[in-house]
Structures are given as C-alpha cells and as structure tokens.
Chains A and B, each alone.
Chain A
Amino acid sequence: MNSILETCAADCHPASTPDFTPTPELRALQLQRLQSVVARSWQQVALFRSRMEERGLLPDDIRSLADIASLPFTQKSDLRDNYPFGLFASPMKDVVRLHASSGTTGKPIVVAYTQEDIAVWSSVLVRCLAGCGLHRGDIIQVAYGYGLFTGGLGAHYGAEALGATVVPTSGGHADRQIMLMKDFGVTAMCCTPTYFLHLIDRAAELGVDMKDLPLRAGVFGAEPWTESMRRHIEDGSSIEAFDIFGLSEIIGPGVGCECRRHDGLHIFEDHFYPEIVDPDTGAPLPDGTEGELVLTTLSKQAMPMIRYRTHDITMILPGKCACGRSMRRIGRIGRRSDDMMIIRGVNVFPSQIETALLQNEGTLPHYQILLTRVQGLDQMEVQVEVTPQMFNDKVGALQELHAKLQNSLDRVLGIRVRVALVEAHSLERSEGKARRVIDRRTS
C-alpha cells in the first residue's frame, strides 16, 4: 500500500486507490470478472446465450483476457430490438433504477441498475472527480439534465459520495445557474462543454466575470469537444477543464475521465474493459492504433454489456500516464463510425428525423440537417423541401404543416429543433446518407 500512496499525488482521494492497482493484479481481476460476467450473461440473457451457441462457445472457453475477441459484439440495435427489458440479467425486484436515452426509431434505449450497480457507478464518479483534484469541501454544481438522461443523476451521486456539496441545478436557466455559482461560491461545474461556453458568454453579459468566482474546475462531457474549446473555456473562466467520458449503455458518465495531466482519459478498466477494433471488420487492433472503441462491463449486474460497439473512434494510448495510474487511457473522442450526431448532449440519428417526417407525410420529403453553434450552444435546423402533396395556397395550411413537423420532431428527438420549409429541389442531392448533414459547428 505504501508504494501506492507514494505514487498517489497530494490531491488523491482514498477512493482513487484502485486507480493505482499494479497491472498484473489488475489483469487478474479483469479476467476473473470477465469470466463471471460472461457466465452470468450466458445464464440470464437469451440473446447472448444464443449468440454464444451460434459460435459453439461456452463460458468456460474464456481462459484469458485475449479470449474476449472470440465473444460476440453487442450493438445499439440489440437494445432496441429487446426493448424494454429483454437484456436484463437481474430480476426486476433487484433493479432499483431505470434510465433511458433516445433510440433510433422513437422508442428509447433502456438501461437498468441494481443497488450494487449504483454503488459502482458512484465509485467510478468519485474516482473521476478525485482525479480532477476535487474533494470534500468542494461545492459542485451539476448542470447536466436530471431525469431519464444519465448525466445529472450520475454526476450527482458521484459528487455526494465524494463528500462534496452538490448543487443540483439540472440544465437550462443560464441566469439562475450563474447567480447560484456566484452566491453559493461554487468551486466546480459539471455540464456539457458547449453549455459552459454559453454560461461564460452569458455571465459577461450579466456583468459577472467568471475569473472572479471561486470556480476552479469544470468536468465536461456528454459530447465530443476539442483542445481549442478547452483553451477557450480555460481562458474565459480561469478554471481547469476536464474531459469525462461515458455512455448510458455502459453505465452513464464515469466510464473514463482525464486526470490532472490531461493526457488522455483513464478508463476505469477494473469495471469497463476497453478494446479497439477495426470498425469495418471488427478485428482487434493494438494499442496506439485508431479504431472503434468497444467496451465490456466487468461488474455490471442488472444489464451487463459484452463487447458493446460504441461507434466512437479513438485509440488506447500506449505507455503509462505520468500520474501513476495503471488504468489505460483512450485519446479524446473526435468522431464516430456511424451517423450519430450529438446535439447539446443528446444523441440524434438522421433516421429519427426520417421517422418523424414519415409519420406526418406518409412519404419522405427530401431533407437536410444543418448544424450550427450559436453562443456556444448547438443548434439543429431540419430543412424540408415542400412537395406538391404538402403545398397549399393558404398560409394557414402551410403554417399548420410547419407546426406539425416541428412538434413531431420535438417529440421523437426530445430536443428543440428548428424546421425550415424550403423550395423543392433546392437542397443538394448526394448519394450517402451522411451528406444529409451539414455540420457548420466550429470548435
């Protein structure tokens, strides 16, 4: 233990001890947990068992960590196809929490937690926050959305477990966020990076200089962001900005986080086993090579995920972090292997937009998605070409159509988007689906 505590910098929290587990010990723990989660999934989850059978595999065939490559992948579509509870490995009486995120067809993706899962989730969040130099005595404002989205409650439980004082503002109401930051002497902020940029701008308009506040750290996630955004945030507020990573399917925020070295995100791999695979072939790729991140939950009870395809493109950074943590790091995520967009922290697929348009018109009009960033906030405009079937010479009828499209998009996506009716054949035609998205957001 002594050596661990010596390695551990002064800002280290006792809960961070697992971050420094010697590598051989960590690998042994991972193998033991992998074998156990595979056995449990095989027993409890019909889909996993049938896929194992297709490959002629039994849980006992997993004898080393390398054997993980023989296991079947899990895709987001598997969660959708088994909506709502088909992938649970625990009986409902043991499930203490359900969260949901937007799916691709209007039905959400459901995730479940046992009491033990909630405890693990809190513990990894504590390790995230401690790694950012936060501790008991800090006042942490959580401006991620509370509710079905995992961001708010995830960060909340972690910050409480750390022993910090939590200000659960949830999202929105920028003026009130700024007032509370100032009046409560908030020292750390958890929200999306674009929302924090917006708060910096809004604070300036209100005559509040973020640099005068006790605020010293920001833990930003739920959407990809860049080094230039980090500089922008840090210059505008005199705080230290940390990138936190997570996804609901795995647990929520807290799968990985930067430490104070800001040299990649440590994955808490005693609970979440990372692999990088070729996004086209699924073949495992070595550390230091870019590919798709695949995650396996090693300790999750209610809803284990074996080899979940995140579609996030990154690499496992070779070598050890100067902080001394043995947890391997991934590079910051900049792009995805699918067409998913992240708008103000909410996942949006073009297919959801098609679903909403189809619901209204019965046919799919030509459309285009325009992404912009206004005052640090992502904006999405769906431009829809007016077809002869949709057109009417009465203004009221067109406005009604406009409102109908607007409402069904809001309903399916769960976020506010702008709908613009445009002239037929005015939008660019191209073959690939991805070209339907014009991304003008600049970092």
Chain B
Amino acid sequence: MKIHQISLFAENKPGHIAAPIRLLEKEGIDIRALYLADTEQYGIVRMIVSDWQKAAKTLEDHEFVVKVTEVLAVEVIDHPGGLADVLGALDQTGINIEYMYAFPDVRAGKAILIFRFADPDEAIARLQAAGINLLTSDELLKD
C-alpha cells in the first residue's frame, strides 16, 4: 500500500528543476507525478517515479540531496464531489495530513490523490476501515 516518493531540495532559481529531471530521463525513469512545494528562497520537488531506487541512486550519484518517504495513493472518480467524498471520510478518521497533492489519470477518467501522513501504517488501517481504496505501487505505476 505504501508508495515510495522521492524528494529533492532545489533553489528557487531558473533551471534548477530541469537538471535533475533530465538526469532521470536519461536513465529511462518515468515520472508519474511531480509536485513542487516552494517558498520564496527554495523549493522541494516531490516525485513518484517508475523506479524509485534507481532514481534515488542516480540523483545521489550526481550529488543531489534526496529523501525517500512513504506516501499513500487514493484513487477517486474524476467528477464533481469525488474528492470531497474522500476528504470527508478522511476527516472522520481524525488523522492529520502532513501534505497532499493530486493529479488526474486522464485515460481512466480518475484522479489520484497522494497523501503524506506522520504514521503511514496507522493511516492505512484507518483509511481501509473507512472504506477508502488505496492503490498499490504496481497499480499506481501501471502503464
């Protein structure tokens, strides 16, 4: 149920995101999702990639500071109210979301939500008890 996410530190300057992305491209690593959390000075690039171990190694070999964290993925129907239903159910469980982001899965007509929780194991148990469907890594990364 847990998905490995790769995070990178990047200065808020032109070109500072392109370089690591190009490296991954060269290694044939597919980026399924990318989210940039930014401040005035710097940003954190968060990515879900096809091969997280290879991606982390490639970036570290090129002296990037990389952090691998476990996140959870939830699939919702891409129609009005789909997201609200999941968030409503999440509210009921009482667990705190550290951060989240969403991206559409256009072909399937669905949206995927990525969540970071302080305790992913506890979150899995509570989300499943609340009837929320979590994606496995394979499901998320399938072509």
Contact = CB atoms under 8 A, between A and B. Distances in A.
A255 interface: no
Contact of A391 (B39, B46, B65): B65
Interface string A322-341: 00000000000000000000
A374 interface: no
Interface residues of A, number: 18
Nearest to A395: B37
Interface centre among A387, A395, A399 (most CB of B within 10 A): A395
Interface range, B side: 20 to 34
B111 interface: no
B65 A398 contact: no
B interface, by DSSP: helix, strand, loop or mixed? strand
Interface centre among A386, A387, A402, A423 (most CB of B within 10 A): A423
A386 B67 contact: no
B66 A388 contact: yes
Contact of A386 (B9, B46, B69): B9
A391 B67 contact: yes
Contacts, number: 51
B98 interface: yes
Given A392-B67, A395-B39, A423 B46 contact: no
Contacts of B116: 393-394
B37 A424 contact: no
Interface string B7-42: 101110000100000000000000000000101011
B41 A393 contact: no
B2 to A, nearest CB: 15
B46 A393 contact: yes
A426 interface: yes
Contact of B63 (A392, A395, A402, A425): A425
Given A392-B67, A395-B44, A423 B11 contact: yes
B5 interface: yes
A421 interface: yes
Interface centre among B9, B11, B16, B39 (most CB of A within 10 A): B9
Given A393-B44, A393-B46, A423-B16, A387 B65 contact: yes
A242 to B, nearest CB: 41
Nearest to A399: B39
Given A393-B5, A393-B116, A398-B42, A423 B10 contact: yes
A236 B127 CA distance: 70
Interface centre among B41, B64, B98 (most CB of A within 10 A): B41
A420 B64 contact: no
B99 interface: yes
A329 B11 CA distance: 50
A100 interface: no
A398 to B, nearest CB: 7
B44 A398 contact: yes
Contacts of B98: 394
27 contacts: A386-B9, A386-B65, A387-B65, A388-B65, A388-B66, A388-B67, A391-B65, A391-B67, A393-B5, A393-B7, A393-B44, A393-B67, A393-B69, A395-B37, A395-B99, A398-B42, A398-B44, A399-B39, A402-B41, A421-B42, A423-B9, A423-B11, A423-B16, A423-B65, A424-B9, A424-B64, A426-B11
Interface of B: 5, 7, 9-11, 16, 37, 39, 41-42, 44, 46, 63-67, 69, 98-99, 116
Given A386-B65, A395-B44, A421-B9, 14 more contacts: A386-B9, A387-B65, A391-B7, A391-B65, A393-B7, A393-B46, A394-B44, A398-B39, A420-B41, A421-B42, A423-B9, A423-B16, A423-B65, A424-B65
